[in-house]
Amino acid sequence: MPKRKQIQRAEEPTVPVAPMLDMAFQLLTFFILTFKPLPTEGQFVMNLLPAQPATEMSAEAPSEATSDQLPATLRTLPTVLKAGQGGTLAEIIVGETVIPTDQAALEKELDKYLQDPNLPFDQTLLKVDPNLKYSEVIKVVNAFSNAFIRARKEPNISFDQLQPGEAQ
């Protein structure tokens, strides 16, 4: 009986794992060296129609909107963004009111316009100073996007260039 056990042990196959481990380590080294996680990018999706007179403006509004029957001019919240030194945001005029430029105060002001059930606004037209930096525009788009979402409306934002002498 002990003789039989010895024979069984001798026949046990041995697979050389070391070369496989070498290859695995080489692969691992390659992946570690080439691994470079890309930063996460987000996006603002929007339908931008070519610029046309405000009376003909008809950006796509959500079909369930109650104010759908009103003309687009009445549903559009006009916003002017003026540039200061070095392309920074100097002034924001919503409707005819100058509102603060810092993010929290801006969003609070926008909530007043978009969450008021007596106001029909479901889209906005940003008239942007051509000298304004893109990052400043995106900050305002971000604030509007947040305000639209809080008001349970589809963010509907369009752009136009602020002409010299306009909104003085």
Binding site for another protein (CB under 8 A): 17-18, 20-21, 24-25, 27-28, 31-32, 34-35, 37-51, 87, 128-135, 137-139, 141-142, 145-146, 149, 159, 161
In the complex with another protein, the residue whose CB is nearer, 1 or 45, is 45
- The distance of closest approach from Cβ of residue 44 to another protein in the complex, given in angstroms and rounded to an integer, is 5
In the complex with another protein, the residue whose CB is nearer, 25 or 97, is 25
Q: Which residue has the tokens 């992946």?
A: 31
Q: Which residue has the tokens 């809080």?
A: 150
| 47 Cβ neighbours under 8 A, 6+ residues apart | 59, 60, 156
Of 145, 149, 148, 156, the closest CA to residue 123 belongs to 156
Of 119, 128, 126, 117, the closest CA to residue 155 belongs to 126
In the complex with another protein, the residue whose CB is nearer, 89 or 99, is 89
Length, in residues, of the chain: 168
In the complex with another protein, the residue whose CB is nearer, 1 or 48, is 48
- The distance of closest approach from Cβ of residue 137 to another protein in the complex, given in angstroms and rounded to an integer, is 5
Q: How far apart are CA 147 and CA 150, in angstroms?
A: 5
In the complex with another protein, the residue whose CB is nearer, 67 or 131, is 131
- The distance of closest approach from Cβ of residue 74 to another protein in the complex, given in angstroms and rounded to an integer, is 21
- The distance of closest approach from Cβ of residue 128 to another protein in the complex, given in angstroms and rounded to an integer, is 5
- The distance of closest approach from Cβ of residue 110 to another protein in the complex, given in angstroms and rounded to an integer, is 12
**Hey, how many other C-beta atoms are within 10 angstroms of the C-beta on 113?**
18
Q: Does the CA dihedral 148-149-154-158 come out positive or negative? A: positive
